Amino acid sequence: MRKKRVLIHSNFCKMFTGFGKHKKNLLSYLYKTGKYDIIELSNGYTWDSEQIKFVPWKSHGMFPEDPDIHKEIAIDERRKNAASYGAEMIDHAIKELKPDIYLGIEDVWAFNGFTDKEWWNNVHCIIHTTLDSLPLLPDAVSIAPKIKNYFVWASFAEKAMHKLGHTHVKTVHGTLDTSSFYKLSDQNRSALRKNFNLSNEFIIGFVFRNQLRKSVPNLLDGFKLFYTNNPQANSKLLLHTHWNEGWDILKLLKEKDIDPKNILTTYVCKNCATYHIKPFSAHVINCDHCRTQNSCETTNVKTGVNEQQLNEIYNLMDVYCHPFTSGGQEIPIQEAKLTELITLVTNYSCGEDCSTEASGGFPLEWAEYREPGTQFIKASTLPNSIYSQLQYVYNLTAETKNILGKKARQFVIDNYSIEVVGKIFEDLFDSFPEVSYAFENKKIKCDPFYDPDPNLADKEWIECLYNNILNKLDPAGVSHWVQRLKTDLNRSEILNYFRKTALSQNQNSFLSEMLDSLKENKNSKKIAFIQPEGTEEIIIATSLITSIKKLYPEYDIYFFTKSEYFDLVNSHPHIKKVLNYFNKMNDPLFFEGKGSNDKYFDMVFAPYLSIHNNYFRNAQDTLQYKVYESN
């Protein structure tokens, strides 16, 4: 039996993001089983990008290669946003790779439109997404009935979905490599501190992407209260983050009158990959290790520490504090627990899973506020709660801290480890039957020539364009274009856009149709004869086909024309197959497999290019002359 083919779609596995880390762990686990044909799909990279090839499994980017398409995407904000999540390439990926299983790991809006595609649920589809606020995002709820395997990263979201009647939604946490994070011996921790000119300071840590949903101002207020009331602690706040995005931390320190010397941060050298823990001084500094000028910057998603280094950074801390407005899982919380740190976590959203004493942590109280626009409930962590919990942990005995630390580590092993979460996916994959791609034969082409009823109201008119021109449903798209009608576009402009999109999608479909036809006879010799249109020209071409077959009887001849001319050539005895003409054929090098390793045809006969474009391929002139001579 063949291996099931699995597509895993998210951030690239080497990105320093929560999705990237989870994807890397899951890919590694599944790859080691040897059961599956695994292909990684990575957002933000082109289909054949070399940057993502150095992994054990097959890999493709989810952005188009064609620079002309890049230009089109760049001028359409909605399309550009969707393209960043792979929307431009997802149909191509399914068509080309033919998976048995598709696993998408992203924020839920990344999958807008996916559930309405003809392949959805014909392939075994799984969404593993982060939902972090109440009320739940309407799009996340509305697509729930269409997602048979709907996994969320935190029980908070599962409970909310169940209340709405979607009881098939389950919690499957993001994975952690529990072997990468662990508590160092006291001797090693002391040596590590000494390496960074630290000794007996009480270090409070926070590892985070510097996003506005991370409650940095609240943490600084809570830290200041603790520092002021515990001068003997010689406390330091270690912020492992990028200082050049999100919160202007330096400005906040000045505003709150906090001495920057008490705020430590992580610098990483791009030259030697060494990290340094020291008070923040500038965004870019010199490296103390390799002496390279301006090579160090505060840690970020592109220049960051490796797992071993991050483990050391956690081991510099005495307590871990993670205040935030909401979050899907917040992986640093679990990493800190694995190093046996007591964790203080905002008791909202995914924080509910990790702020209990059973998890080796304590909750941070919060006040509700509403996010402008979405009206989502968000948490503003109370500085007094941060202070009081820091005070509580500071006063705990060493024995109690050790007990809570070990409990924290075991909690993560039992609920978030690669072995536990990986086994969930492994068992699910094994339960799926192989996929038959018979459904592809039923695909309906787009209709760029459809004329909508001008008397329809705006919303119904846009829905009519989607249903009849693009043959799909897209509620978010309908809302977008209705808004554009109210602001900057008229109906004629939108209709032209839809027609252009339909033509483009049909062109891609025609290319796929050709590739599928060639696969059926991949070992035969092939000739392409191209005559896009013109009744008289096509009738003349049929006599040329007979001459070509006499000269090259061992070749299969494929005739390319527009669909309205199919009847003129369908019955020709020497034509292997009549296929749709598409625009890429105007590129004289296309049939040589331009941009790929494939040569589609051995010979190409295209008199319309020679006549209209003054084009001759020297390699094929012999064919053309012989045919003309024989007639």
Whether residue 591 has pLDDT greater than 90: no
CATH code of the domain in which 572 resides: 3.40.50
Number of structural domains (the chain) is 4
Q: Is the pLDDT of residue 521 over 80?
A: no
Establish if 217 belongs to a structural domain.
Answer: yes
Q: State the Cα–Cα distance between residues 402 and 351, nearest whole angstrom.
A: 22
Please report the beta strands in 18-134, taking only residues with DSSP state E, as ranges in sequence order: 36-46, 58-63, 101-107, 124-130
pLDDT of residue 616: 41
pLDDT at 623: 41
Answer yes or no: are the C-beta atoms of 387 and 226 closer than 8 Å: yes
Q: Based on the domain organization, do 552 and 619 belong to the same domain?
A: yes
pLDDT-derived band at 579, boundaries 50, 70, 90:
confident
Per the CB < 8 A criterion, the answer to whether 509 and 448 are in contact is: no
Q: What band does 620 get if pLDDT is binned at 50, 70 and 90?
A: very low
pLDDT, one tens digit per residue, over 211-236 is 999 999 999 999 999 999 999 999 99
pLDDT exceeds cutoff 90 at 534: no
Q: How confident is the model at residue 443 (pLDDT cuts 50, 70, 90)?
A: low
User: Does the pLDDT value for residue 610 go beyond 70?
Assistant: no
pLDDT of 509 over the 90 cut: no
Q: Say what the pLDDT of residue 445 is.
A: 66
Residue 222 shares a structural domain with residue 267: yes
Given a contact cutoff of 8 angstroms between Cβ atoms, the answer to whether 323 and 218 are in contact is yes
Tens digit of each residue's pLDDT (9 = 90 or more) over 71-124 = 888 988 888 999 999 999 999 999 899 999 999 999 999 999 899 888 999 999
Q: Nearest to residue 173, comparing CAs of 191, 153, 201?
A: 153
What is the chain's Cα-based Rg? Answer: 30
Report the alpha-carbon distance of residue 77 to residue 74 in Å, rounded: 7
- Quick one: 348 and 382 in the same domain? yes
Is 575 part of a structural domain of the chain? yes
Q: Residue 341 — φ and ψ, nearest 5°? A: -90, 145
Give the whole-angstrom CA distance, residue 195 versus residue 518.
Answer: 64
pTM above 0.75, yes or no: no
Spatial distance between the Cα atoms of 290 and 299, rounded to a whole number of angstroms: 17
Residue 162 and residue 44 share a domain: yes
Same domain, 494 and 352: no
Range of the domain at 596: 521-630
What is the percent of the chain with per-residue pLDDT over 70, rounded to a whole number? Answer: 92
| 580: in domain | yes
Residue 171 pairs with which residues in a beta bridge? 152
541 phi, psi to nearest 5 deg? -60, -35
What's 55's DSSP letter? S
Token digits of residue 4: 């099931």
The answer to whether residues 35 and 153 belong to one domain is yes
Residue 219 Ramachandran class (φ > 0 left, ψ -120 to 50 alpha, else beta): alpha
Q: What's residue 630's pLDDT?
A: 39
Q: How confident is the model at residue 62 (pLDDT cuts 50, 70, 90)?
A: very high
Say yes or no to pLDDT of 617 above 60.
Answer: no
pLDDT category at 628 given cuts 50, 70, 90 is very low
Is 181 part of a structural domain of the chain? no
Work out the average pLDDT over 170-178: 96
> CA–CA separation, 241 vs 310, rounded Å?
12
Q: Are residues 29 and 169 in the same domain?
A: yes
- Whether residues 86 and 204 share a domain: the answer is no
28 and 154 together in one domain: yes
pLDDT at 207: 97
Q: What is the DSSP letter of 435?
A: P
Q: Is residue 14 part of a domain?
A: yes
Mean pLDDT of the chain: 90
Nearest C-alpha neighbor of 386 from the set 332, 344, 352, 336:
344
pLDDT at 543: 81
Q: Is it the case that residue 276 has pLDDT exceeding 70?
A: yes
Task: Please give the full DSSP string across 557-598, using - where no structure is assigned.
Answer: EEEEE-GGGHHHHTT-TT-SEEEE--GGGGSTTGGGTTTSS-
Comparison of pLDDT for 373 and 446, the residue scoring more: 373
124 burial via Cβ count (<10 Å: 0-12, 13-18, 19+): buried
- Domain final position from 465, 484, 509: 509
Using 50, 70 and 90 to split pLDDT, how confident is the model at 595?
Answer: very low
The pLDDT of residue 622:
39
Residue 119 lies in a domain: yes
User: Are β-strands 366-370 and 377-381 bridged in parallel, bridged antiparallel, or unpaired?
Assistant: antiparallel
Q: pLDDT (tens digit, 9 = 90+) per residue, 321-379?
A: 999 999 999 999 999 999 999 999 999 999 999 999 999 999 999 999 999 988 999 99
* pLDDT reading at 47 higher than 90: yes
Least confident of 244-253, 315-324, 522-531, 602-611: 602-611
Q: Please tell me the predicted confidence (pLDDT) of residue 280.
A: 95
229 and 346 in a single domain? The answer is: yes
User: Would you place residue 598 in the very low, low, confident or very high pLDDT band (cuts 50, 70, 90)?
Assistant: low
28 located within any domain: yes
Read off the CATH number of the domain in which 386 is found.
Answer: 3.40.50.2000
CATH code: domain of residue 52: 3.40.50.11930
Phi, psi of 149 (to 5 degrees): -120, 90
Extract the tokens encoding 263: 């705020």
Query: End-to-end CA distance of the chain, in Å?
Result: 53
- Residue 180 within a domain: no
State CA 155 to chain mean position distance: 23
Same domain, 471 and 531: no
* pLDDT at site 596: 47
What distance in Å separates the CA atoms of residue 101 and residue 426, rounded to the nearest whole number? 12
Check whether residue 434 and residue 449 sit in a common domain: no
The pLDDT value given to residue 600 = 79
Residues facing residue 42 across a β-bridge = 10, 61
Q: What percent of the chain has pLDDT over 90?
A: 68
145-155: average pLDDT:
96
